Amino acid sequence: MCGIVGVVGNEAAAPILLDGLSKLEYRGYDSAGIAVRNNNDEFTIVKAKGRLKDLQEKTNDGLAVPGTCGIGHTRWATHGEPSEINAHPHSTDDKNVVGVHNGIIENYQELREKLIKKGYSFYSQTDTEVVVKLVDYYYKKYNIGPIDAIAKTMVRVRGSYALVLMFKDFPGEIWVARKDSPMIIGTENGASYVASDVPAILKYTRNVYYIGNHEMGRLTKDGATFYNLDGEEIKKDLVEIKWDAEAAEKEGYEHFMIKEIHEQPRVVRETLNTHVKDGKIDFSEIGLTEEVINSVTGIYMVACGSAYHAGVVMQYVMESLARVPVRCELASEFRYRNPILDPNELIVIISQSGETADSLAALREAKTQGIKTLAIVNVVGSSIAREADYVLYTLAGPEIAVATTKAYSAQLIAGYLLSIEFGKLRGHLDDAKYTELIKELETIPDKITKILEDKERIQWFSNKLANSTDIFFIGRGIDYAICMEGSLKLKEISYIHSEAYAAGELKHGTISLIEKGIQVISVLTQTDLFEKTISNMVECKSRGAYSMGLTSYGNYSVEDSADFTVYIPKINPLFAASLAVVPLQLLSYYVSIERGLDVDKPRNLAKSVTVE
């Protein structure tokens, strides 16, 4: 949510800020703005409601805003409606302090009232303006420097934030502070950068620092200095980002989403190759030892959105292969129900960004109770990765489209590997079965490629769905988990109402919604449940539903009951989600295109939900 970019160096700042913000559009936003310190040491602030192109037009692509030190922001409204006034950057009336902010300040109303009593006035409805003016208040009242003023502010505010500031009295410097909201600092060739996510600055540097919770920093063109909450200087190591800058570009595809769908064979193969060596799963770098695995009495899969759906698949696979009890929990609910946790349980946190606020809070709740935690994340150095006891990285690379595709597929692979290793070390898989399952996983990339080669049939069928108002997905077991992800993909980018139901639940109320013209998509990849789901599909069709069946090659009897059938290559049913999800991703993409919508940036959504 929201995006931050800042730069101080020798080059014009505004074009760099606008370019960086364009790389963060996927995070979701409703307005944008930049603040640049010009050659007269005065701040020029330009803001625009709507898309970034409006800000680019107002600034002539940044050429109309001179200066080599500046900050920029794309805003996703939390406090205050989307408007130019509420857009960031915000400043004090005398332009002494100018700043941008990601996150939510929970006690901003209380602080606002205090500052009004001290003579401050407010022009916006935002919590960010309150923070900027609180820093200014401490800076002036105690006649102290930026670090001390920021530290006093950090102690006073409650909530989450990535805060980036410029001070009138400190030309050529940018000051930063962080609590919970993501932030990275980069340095390269006489310039320093700050951003809320890697793609914003990847074009300019691959050398970054990860600033921790309750830490602050000072950026100049010569480098970065970091401080703890007591104002003491602390040392940090530079980390090299391995992603190529080109990986965050469209590379000839019309949208990031379709590019990322086509990248799935590669990311699945790379995730496998990272964790499978010489035909055996190798978790030695993770630190997940045989002793730890055998000590686990139960597992919680905790995640949000698509990552939660990946966790539901993992639940079925882990229980089947490792015979260990697994519960899948929504991270946003996990800590609020005061969970009863056993010290020998393992909490698995699944998150693409590694910054998901609810998932991070769930991890911290587990750690306060002394429970072991394992993170399945895509972003190296992210908050969840740093705080978990063990980290299993997916190799999806940068994912730009808001609707996840390749990161979800990489999460599934991580879950399969984890399940197989648990099953082997806990004595439920012999050597032959262990080897067979790993070889089966290694067939997935080529099988996804085969599905993608036949995508024109999906594109044709999407035309029939584009005017739908309600679509239902039904399946059993792992097929139900596949339906959950397919339904989410469709609704989040096409805005068509859709629901996923465990097929056996239809007759317990839901079937009353089935009528002539309703679209029903049935997923039938689980051999043991095939006939039961066929019966449920027929029940829907007999009530007037138009039916699509998604099944494996060889199950041609589906055509007797479905109006349209999509086939995927045969695979062990435990791993069917990796194949069956691809036609559903394509279907959602093409339906959205047919409806003329913004595929990569659906309304009201953000790529990484970093606030509750």
Hey, is 411 helix, strand or coil? Answer: helix
Residues 289, 233, single domain; the answer is no
Asked whether residue 247 carries a pLDDT value surpassing 80, the answer given is no
For residue 607, tell me if it sits in a domain: no
pLDDT confidence of 542, banded at 50, 70, 90?
confident
pLDDT confidence of 50, banded at 50, 70, 90?
confident
pLDDT digits (tens, 9 = 90+) for 473-485: 999 999 999 999 9
pLDDT digits (tens, 9 = 90+) for 482-512: 999 999 999 999 999 998 998 877 777 777 6
pLDDT confidence of 168, banded at 50, 70, 90?
very high
Query: Residue 497's domain is classified under what CATH number?
Result: 3.40.50.10490
pLDDT digits (tens, 9 = 90+) for 589-608: 999 999 999 888 887 665 55
Average pLDDT over residues 229-236: 93
| Residue 498, Ramachandran bin (φ over 0: left; ψ between -120 and 50: alpha; else beta) | beta
Name the least confident of 70-79, 369-378, 448-457. Answer: 70-79
The percentage of residues in the chain with a pLDDT greater than 90, rounded to a whole number, is: 64
Q: List the structure tokens of 96.
A: 């002494």
pLDDT digits (tens, 9 = 90+) for 518-528: 888 999 999 99
Verify whether residue 2 is a known catalytic residue. Answer: yes
**Within its chain, how far is the Cα of 553 from the centroid?**
33
Last residue of a domain, one of 247, 262, 277: 247
Determine the pLDDT at residue 242. Answer: 72
Asked whether residue 353 carries a pLDDT value surpassing 60, the answer given is yes
For residue 605, tell me if it sits in a domain: no
Choosing from 47, 49, 133, 607, the catalytic residue is 607
Verify whether residue 607 is a known catalytic residue. Answer: yes
Determine the pLDDT at residue 611. Answer: 47
Hey, is 499 helix, strand or coil? Answer: strand
Asked whether residue 129 carries a pLDDT value surpassing 80, the answer given is yes
Average pLDDT over residues 152-165: 92
Residues 281, 234, single domain; the answer is no
Average pLDDT over residues 13-33: 85
For residue 348, tell me if it sits in a domain: yes
For residue 54, tell me if it sits in a domain: yes
Average pLDDT over residues 114-131: 94
Residues 337, 405, single domain; the answer is yes
Residues 75, 42, single domain; the answer is yes
* In 508-569, beta strands by DSSP E: 519-524, 546-552, 564-568
Residues 482, 400, single domain; the answer is no
DSSP state of 194: E
Residues 160, 278, single domain; the answer is no
Rounded to whole angstroms, how far apart are CA atoms 137 and 133?
Answer: 6
Residues 367, 399, single domain; the answer is yes
For residue 609, tell me if it sits in a domain: no
For residue 116, tell me if it sits in a domain: yes
Identify the residue with better confidence: 457 or 169.
169
Average pLDDT over residues 314-337: 94
Last residue of a domain, one of 442, 474, 494: 442
Domain of 114, in residue numbers: 3-247
| Burial class (CB within 10 angstroms; exposed 0-12, middle 13-18, buried 19+) of 129 | buried
Last residue of a domain, one of 442, 471, 489: 442
Computed over every residue of the chain, the mean pLDDT equals 90
Determine the pLDDT at residue 248. Answer: 60
Asked whether residue 207 carries a pLDDT value surpassing 50, the answer given is yes
Query: Residue 146's domain is classified under what CATH number?
Result: 3.60.20.10
Residues 430, 565, single domain; the answer is no
The percentage of residues in the chain with a pLDDT greater than 70, rounded to a whole number, is: 95
pLDDT digits (tens, 9 = 90+) for 383-434: 899 899 999 999 888 888 888 999 999 999 999 999 999 999 999 999 999 9
Determine the pLDDT at residue 26. Answer: 62
Residues 294, 256, single domain; the answer is yes
For residue 611, tell me if it sits in a domain: no
pLDDT confidence of 27, banded at 50, 70, 90?
low
Determine the pLDDT at residue 379. Answer: 83
Into how many domains does the chain fold? 3
Rounded to whole angstroms, how far apart are CA atoms 493 and 593?
Answer: 9
Determine the pLDDT at residue 244. Answer: 61
- Measured CA to CA in angstroms, residue 438 lies from 126, 515, 577 at distances of 52, 44, 16
Residues 179, 231, single domain; the answer is yes
**Within its chain, how far is the Cα of 509 from the centroid?**
34
Asked whether residue 84 carries a pLDDT value surpassing 60, the answer given is yes
pLDDT confidence of 243, banded at 50, 70, 90?
low
Residues 97, 220, single domain; the answer is yes
Residues 241, 338, single domain; the answer is no
For residue 391, tell me if it sits in a domain: yes
DSSP state of 89: P
Would you give the end-to-end CA distance of the chain in angstroms? 11
